[in-house]
Amino acid sequence: MSDNSLRLVWIYPDLLSTYGDQGNALVVERRARQRGLDVQRLDVRSDQQIPTSGDIYLIGGGEDRPQRLASERLIRDGGLSRAVSNGAIVFSVCAGYQILGHEFINDLGERQQGLGLLDVVSTRGEGERCVGDVLADIDPQLGLPPLTGFENHQGVTHLGKTARPFAKVRFGKGNGVGDGYEGAYNDTVFGTYMHGPVMARNPHIADLLIKLALDVNALPPADDQWYEALRQERIAAATQPA
C-alpha cells in the first residue's frame, strides 16, 4: 500500500451482516478518511473471489447456516488465508470470529472446519445464551481504552496456546467459558463477540487496525465527540444493576 491509501475489504455482506456489523466497515472507512487517506473499499459477496491485495479485512456475525456456508466458501476460495500470509489485518465478529478458528459447531450440530487463522476452538454452550451489554479491559499491550459492546451468542470459544485474549471482562460473558476473557488475537488477526457495531462504540479499535496496516505508531487526531458520547452511554448501561 502507499502512504496515503488504504484497501478495505468487507467479506460476505450477504451472509455475515445480520447484526449491523457492516457499520464496522463504515467506521474504519470514515476514520481513515479523517486522516486524509484515500480509501478503496470493496464489498465482496459470497459468490465472488476474495482479493489478496487488501490491507484490512472485516467479517461480521451471522446465523448458523450462513456461517457454515461462509466457512466452506472461504476455505475453498483461499484468498483470505493468502492475504493474511502476506501481512493483511483481519478483524472478525461473532460468527466470523468462530470461522477464523480451527473449528466450530454448525447448524447441523456437526463440527465444522474453520480457517485456522486464530488458535481457538468454538463449541455449543450448554447454559444460558450470552446476551447483553459487555464492558471489558482490552489487553494492555494494545494500548486501548476499555471495550464496550453487545453480545448475543450461544457458542463458547476456547483459546489455544498461541491466541492472546483480546480483553478481560468486567461485566458480561465474553468467550463464555468462565475464564473471564473476551475475544482473541495474534499479530494481525482479531476476533470478538462484540456487536454494537463494535467500531462505533470503540473507534480506537478502528484506529489500531489502520496503524497496523500503515505500520505507524500514531495517527493524527480525529473528532471523537460523537463516539465518546455513545461510549459513555453504553458503559453506563453495562454497569447499571439489572
Tell the residue number behind the cell numbers 473471489, with chain if given.
49
Measured from the Cβ of residue 44, the count of other Cβ atoms closer than 10 Å reads 20
Under 8 Å between Cβ of 21 and 47: no
Active site residues: 94, 195
Tell me: is residue 65 an annotated ligand-binding position: no
Report how far apart, in Å, the C-alpha atoms of 160 and of each of 37, 122, 185 are. Answer: 36, 11, 11
The cell numbers describing 211, all together, are 496503524
* Phi and psi torsions of 200, nearest 5°: -65, -35
Report how far apart, in Å, the C-alpha atoms of 192 and of each of 2, 30, 161, 195 are. Answer: 29, 21, 17, 8
Extended strands (E) in 81-163: 89-93, 103-105, 111-113, 120-124, 130-138, 147-153, 155-159
Cite the annotated binding site by residue number. Answer: 129
Cite the annotated binding site for substrate by residue number. Answer: 129
